[in-house]
Structure 1
Amino acid sequence: MSFWTAVVIIVAIGAVTSVFRARYRAQAGIIADKQGNEQYIQQTDTSDRREVEELRERIKVLERIATDANTTESLKIRQISDEIENLRDK
């Protein structure tokens, strides 16, 4: 093996190592600013995620209620049910 082949292999190993190191730090929530100062970012709690998902589901239901109440079919159904109730009252 020649000298330059060894240099290329050493540089490649260093590059691969730095990529794996950066990937691990990103998964762990460690970031570095431009000066090289490292900070740990706390990840969100699972209960917070669950609560956000529940709120999204509630919003979907409310949107469906708001939009479904204004369709022509729902207006017809409401009109028929009102007529039935009026007939029952008589």
Structure 2
Amino acid sequence: MGPFEMVIGIVLIVTIGGIIKAKHGIRRDNKGNEYFVGNAADKEETKALLAEIRALKERIQVLERIATDGNRAATLDEQIERLRDRP
């Protein structure tokens, strides 16, 4: 996978995350803080989705670091294995 495909993948993941958040009533105020707009029944699902989005953002950061760093192949393999071990 080349850098162009990786960038496209990252953009898609972030966009999908934004769509999911908007669908479930998560908004941002002027300062960038997220807040929930919806009924109480959706709160648990929203919390789970927020946790999943945080995990995806962490994975994106790792992928960006892997793509931009000129690391050795062994280090790259170790980072990929750490990503696979995450839930």
Alignment TM-score, normalising by the size of structure 2? 0.40
Alignment TM-score, normalising by the size of structure 1? 0.39
Which structure has the larger Rg? Answer: 1
Q: Which has the higher contact order (CA 8 A, sep 6+)?
A: 2
